Amino acid sequence: MAECNHCSKTILFGGRRVDGARYCCAACAGRHPLLARAEQVPEHVLQKHVEDWHRSACPRCNRPGPIDVYRHHRVHSFVLLTQWHTRQSVSCRRCGRRSQLASALYSAVLGWWGFPWGLVVTPVQVGRNLAAAFRGAPDTPSEPFRRLVRLQLAQQTLAPPRQG
């Protein structure tokens, strides 16, 4: 199975191709120029910005870092409808853990109401959140954080200059 070059979703059928890259939808394919530019960011520039941003204050609580990307997973169900997703946020470990525990509680309460997927997906999502919440803080910036910084740097270079 293929994976989207932008959002990493699994592509079961179809998708879009741009210059050899594969995307799950038109929105992801529309970000191809940004992704192509991000690959051109020099490693030494990326490393400097990753280290600076990793040590900066948390954008959620404004406490001193380190900050990183934290993922939390949710599921909610109602009879025959079950929806689940993963979101990520940039924050300190404390705020990241808080999001993961809140999503575990949300999923535990609202996830199991659907048949059959609610009963299957709810324990998975709750388990993923709890495992992530009780895992130790990373010693170094994670790969998703490095990717986010790379995209931010590319976006700054593609932005039109401000008229002043």
Per residue in 122-164, pLDDT (tens digit) is: 999 999 999 999 998 778 999 999 999 998 998 887 766 666 5
Do 47 and 114 have their domain in common? Answer: yes
Do 34 and 48 have their domain in common? Answer: no
Q: Which residues are CB-neighbours of 75 under 8 A, at least 6 positions away? A: 82, 83, 84, 107, 110, 111, 118, 121, 122, 125
Do 75 and 117 have their domain in common? Answer: yes
Residue 51 lies in a domain: yes
Give the C-alpha separation, 151 to 19, whole Å.
Answer: 18
Residue 93 lies in a domain: yes
Q: Over the chain, what is the mean pLDDT?
A: 89
Give the global pTM.
0.81
User: 24 to each of 20, 139, 155, how far by Cα in Å?
Assistant: 13, 32, 21
Per-residue pLDDT tens digits for 10-30: 787 788 888 888 888 888 888
Do 94 and 117 have their domain in common? Answer: yes
Do 67 and 103 have their domain in common? Answer: yes
Phi, psi of 40 (to 5 degrees): -90, -5
Look at the chain and report how many structural domains it folds into.
Answer: 2
Phi, psi of 22 (to 5 degrees): -115, 135
Which pLDDT score, from 0 to 100, does residue 161 have? Answer: 62
Residue pair 77/114 in contact by the 8 Å Cβ criterion: yes
Give the C-alpha separation, 151 to 155, whole Å.
Answer: 6
Do 73 and 146 have their domain in common? Answer: yes
Residue 164 lies in a domain: no
How many other CB atoms sit within 10 Å of the CB of residue 46?
16
Residue 20's domain spans which residues?
Answer: 2-38
Residue 158 lies in a domain: no
